[in-house]
Amino acid sequence: MVNWDHQDEDDDPSCPRTKDLADAQDVCRKLDIEFHQVNFTKEYWNKVFLNFLENFKIGRTVLADADCNRCIKFDMLHKYAVDKLSADYIATGHFARTAIADNGLVKLLKSRDPLKDQTYFLSKLSQSQLRRSLFPVGGMIKPEVKQIAINVGLEKTASRQESMGICFVGKKKLFSEFLDKYIEPVTHGRFVDAESGETFEDLSHTGIHNFTIGKRIRLASMISCTSVENDGLYVSGTNFATQTVYLCRGSHHPSLFTRTFLISLPYWISEDSWQTDRLLGRDWCSLRFCLQRTYQPVQCRLSRCPSGSPYLLVESRLPIRAVSPGQLCAFYSGDECLGSAEVECVQETLMGPVKNGQ
């Protein structure tokens, strides 16, 4: 499956497309099965990348991998396999499991390997998508999977490095350099001290899309200015309307932490319109959320916002660092992934109420 045109990365040895193709062909030859290649570059651009770009432009950190799974891998690819190859099921290497509930619905469950679990990325899938999907490695841990590959003569596959990061960004590029190709820079971007509200007068930036909440920045690497002490400065917030980046001192500054945030109405894997109502106000023990795959799910409560707001309020049992608009918030009950929503905003940090869109 080809989703991206690497025309500007053909000379980049880190670009995996050619190697992935050769490796897939080797596996097919070894297992004596047919090799098929399908190109979804246009569909990926329209259904995943444009949405990714528009969100990053306004400071929303959306997850392209989850949208790719929902729109391309478990939709376009599935339809191709069913219509063109007469397939009944599609098996992928995701570390996840499924089970049929008593009511006949498919449940998405965490994998046996907690370090490799990928249900976070699959939390937008529908019942029909999960029903025709198989996750054969979900009941194993990664070393067991590698050993099976070695036992059947796939040593080359077993020794491959894991893919990390966003698939369409080559390793030679910084993420900000990649975005600069598609997002027009600004000339008036400013830095503001999150505590004092004072503007760093001598400093500017070319767009909030270059900054991620919670990340350390080194101003000297972006601008030729030494008038500000730049060690230990972290991004605590951004404002698209004013192109402002708020900075705090120290990785554990209270402006980086919150116990509450707003989310869009969740998508529930059960596709049950009453699921939200059943989860509202539950006690701390029965519902957990996760904002990154590598994070352990944290106990939480859901409640409706006042004044007819379309959003829900998530109350976390523990302070959470660097919650960002656009982040995928996946919900769990035990090992079951219930679904997910996007973070809309943080209204209050441990430092106090968020002001001016910070």
User: How many angstroms separate the CA atoms of 284 and 300, rounded?
Assistant: 6
How many degrees, rounded to 5, is the angle at CA 128 between CA 122 and CA 134? 60
Q: Which residues contact 255 (CB under 8 A, 6 or more apart)?
A: 194, 195, 236, 237, 246, 248, 349, 350, 351
Question: Are residues 108 and 65 in contact, defined by beta-carbon separation less than 8 angstroms?
Answer: no
Catalytic residue, chosen from 15, 28, 71, 167, is 167
The active-site residue out of 15, 68, 71, 300 is 68
Cβ–Cβ < 8 Å for 55, 13: no
Active-site annotation holds for 290: no
Neighbours of 146 (CB within 10 A): 17
Give the helix/strand (H/E) hosting 277: helix 275-279
Question: Cβ distance 312 to 265 under 8 Å?
Answer: yes
* Closest listed residue to residue 236, CA positions, set 246, 227, 222: 246
Q: In a 10 Å sphere around its CB, with 0-12 CB exposed, 13-18 middle and 19+ buried, how is residue 3 labelled?
A: buried
336-345 and 328-333 beta bridge pairing? antiparallel
Residue 332: CB atoms within 10 A of its CB come to 22
Residue 248 bears catalytic tag: no
Cα separation, 266 vs 27, in Å, equals 39
Enzyme catalytic residues: 68, 167
